[in-house]
Each structure stands twice: as structure tokens, then as C-alpha cells.
Amino acid sequence: MDVTIKDVAKRAGVSTATVSRVLNGSPYVQEHLASRVREAIAELGYRRNAAARSLKTKKTNTIGVLVPDISNPYFMQISKGLEDVLAPHGFSLIFASSDEDSRKEAKLLRVLSEYRVDCLVVATAGGNDELLKDINGGGLPVVLVDRLPPVLAGELDYVVEDNHSSAYQLVHHFLEQGARSFGLIHGPMSATTALERAFGCRAALAEGKVPPERIVEYHGDFSQASGQAAVRLFLQGELPDAVLALNNSMAWGAILELSKHKLRIGEDVLLGSYGAVDAAPLLPFSITYVDQNPRELGERVGEVVRERLVSSKQGHIWHVMQQKLRMDRPE
């Protein structure tokens, strides 16, 4: 049997209420009693029971975080930012990974809500728009991050990147570099980010009057393998002037595959990426990419969570973060 507040009270010769007051830092306890309580706590090795506490207070000081992939550095950078902001305020993070699966996501959403987390941070795999709206409506604040299903734009708090604009600028840059034909490697259209990036690209291509026959599009799944597959497809026709991968894993796949075919990036073909390619500084060619900042995204989410929890403010909070184009050149 665990030691409870009752045991502490008995040992210190006070009531449980006094122990509770000491535990919660109430100023209305005489110092000599407080120190007796603290002694008893130490002697007995008492640890407060969070379940009993939150049953009473209806607060868990826990934030549920639901991401498509717990091992994806992008999402974990976001989580790091979140933790940096929230941990100092006493919040813990409980994680779940949907594996980009709507059904699993729905199940995990239920589990997290049963834990009565104080707030839910979700990078949705899609397909749970109604459920998310219900949960939020039911009194559990939901903050969307990275992925924003259009239906939810007016309904929930969110912090996302300006995917459309960044992708637009990426294409625009290559048009200015003189590229006249394009190979686009898209992510899965179930991810709103992939969809928005695709639209951003198309807007720039239309504006640049690039005719459809000079555009090849491959629909990948954000994985390195799909970046490689895309390049193999492109090689079946005439190699486009520029290959644009709409995330960094696919960009890396494209680089590997192009290299395998002895194609020189920067000369035979230009390469663009949405998101930095880690190895870029060492590669013998330059890559222009959209500079994401997941850490900052996470910090912003943390602030939104706090705003939502402390100021219980009306209306919705949303942030659309701007990205800049960057180029890594060989040194």
C-alpha cells in the first residue's frame, strides 16, 4: 500500500487539509506546522497521487500530443518547442502516434480524451474533422499544428506554415533561374500540407505560363523511397530543368537517385526542396529550399495552449508562419 496524505497527516500530527495546503503551497499554514509536514513527507517517502488529485480538480496538467509519426524529426522538433514552453509551467506531454492512419487517430483521440488531458495538440492524419470539432466543442481545447483541414480553419486554434506561399516562392525562384520545365514530387494529398504546397506550385507555374506538357507530377508519400521512384519516372521522359521535392525526405531520395544515374545537380538539373536537406552543406552542388522552423512552430503552439488554458479566451487563435527561401552552396 502506498503512503497517502492521511499517513503524512497522522505522522505530522495535523489534519489532511493542512498537508494538502502545504503540498499546494498555501500561505495560510504556520511555518512550524509546515516544516513538520515536510519532514513527515520526506520520512515516509510520500508522493502525491496525480489521479486522485485530478479527479478532484478536473485538471491533469497534461497536454496530449498526437502526431502522425513519433520518430519523424520534424514533429519531434515541434514537440521539443512545445515542451520547452510548457514544461516550465508544470505541464507534461503525453504522446501518441497515428501512423498517418485516420482510424488509429480516432482511437487515440478517444484514449487521450479519457485521460482528461487539459489540451490536445494534433497534427492530423485527416479524416477526423467532425470528431476533432466535437472534442473541442465538448470542452477539451484542441490546437491543430502543421496540418489544417480547410473545414476546421474557422473552428479550432491552429499554428501552421504558409505552405501555399512558400511553395509558390520556391517555384518562382526556379522560374527566375530560367527553368522552363518542372518535375514535381508531391506528398500524399491526404496531408493538407502536401495539398497546399501542390496548389502553391501550380499557381506559380500558371503565372509563369509554363505549359502543362512541361510539367510532370509524381504523387509520393513523403518518404525517401518515393523521391527515388519519382526520379525514375522523370527519367522515362525528357529530364525536366528543375526537380522540386515537396519535403526533404523525398528531396534526399531524388538526390540519391539522380546521383545514381550520374546526373549532375546544378548542371544537368536544378534541385529544390521544401525543407532543408541535412547533408546539403557537404554536397558538391547547391540546393534551394524552403527553410522550415519546426522548433519555433512548437513554441508558438505552446503559447497558444497557454493562452487557451489560462485566459480561456473567446474566438480562435491562429498563426500562419512564414518561411524564407534559402540556398545551401558548397563551401
Partner DNA sequence: GTGAAAGCGCTAACAC
Partner DNA sequence: GTGTTAGCGCTTTCAC
Spell out, one character per residue from 48 to 77, where the chain touches DNA: x when CB under 7 A holds, - when not: xx--xx-xxx--------------------
Please give the Cα distance from 109 to 172 (Å, whole number): 39
The residues, any chain, with a CB within 8 Å of residue 15's CB and separated by 6 or more, are 9
42 binds DNA (CB under 7 A): no
CB 71 within 8 A of CB 99: no
Collapse the DSSP code of 98 into the 3-class scheme (helix H, G, I; strand E, B; otherwise coil) and give the result.
coil
Q: Which stretch binds DNA (CB under 7 A): 10-18, 76-84, 200-208, 212-220?
A: 10-18
Q: Which of 95, 155, 199, 219 binds a copy of itself (CB under 8 A)?
A: 95
Q: Which stretch binds a copy of itself (CB under 8 A): 86-94, 184-192, 209-217, 227-235?
A: 86-94
40 binds DNA (CB under 7 A): no
Residue 179 interacting partner from a copy of itself, DNA, none (CB closer than 5 to 8 Å by kind): none
DSSP code of residue 151: G
Size of the residue set binding a copy of itself (CB under 8 A): 50
300-319 positions binding a copy of itself, by CB under 8 A: none
End-to-end CA distance of the chain: 64
Collapse the DSSP code of 240 into the 3-class scheme (helix H, G, I; strand E, B; otherwise coil) and give the result.
coil
Task: Identify residue 144 by its one-letter amino acid code.
Answer: L
Tell me how far, at minimum, the Cβ of 206 lies from a copy of itself, in Å: 34
Number of Cβ atoms within 10 Å of the Cβ of 58: 8
Q: Which stretch binds DNA (CB under 7 A): 17-25, 120-128, 204-212, 321-329?
A: 17-25
Residue 20 interacting partner from DNA, a copy of itself, none (CB closer than 5 to 8 Å by kind): DNA
- Which residue's C-alpha cell is 513519433? 70
* Burial bucket for residue 168 (CB in 10 Å: 0-12, 13-18, 19+): buried
Please give the Cα distance from 204 to 196 (Å, whole number): 13
Query: What are the distances in angstroms from CA 328 to CA 103, 130, 141, 240, 296?
Result: 40, 42, 40, 21, 21
Nearer to a copy of itself, 185 or 198 (CB): 185
73 binds a copy of itself (CB under 8 A): yes
Closest CA to 198 of 224, 175, 171: 171
Chain positions contacting a copy of itself, by CB under 8 A: 2, 45, 47-52, 54-55, 60, 62, 69-71, 73, 76-77, 79-80, 83, 87, 92-97, 110-116, 134, 138-139, 255-256, 259-260, 278-279, 281-284, 295, 331
Chain positions contacting DNA, by CB under 7 A: 1-2, 4-6, 13-21, 23-24, 28-30, 33, 46, 48-49, 52-53, 55-57
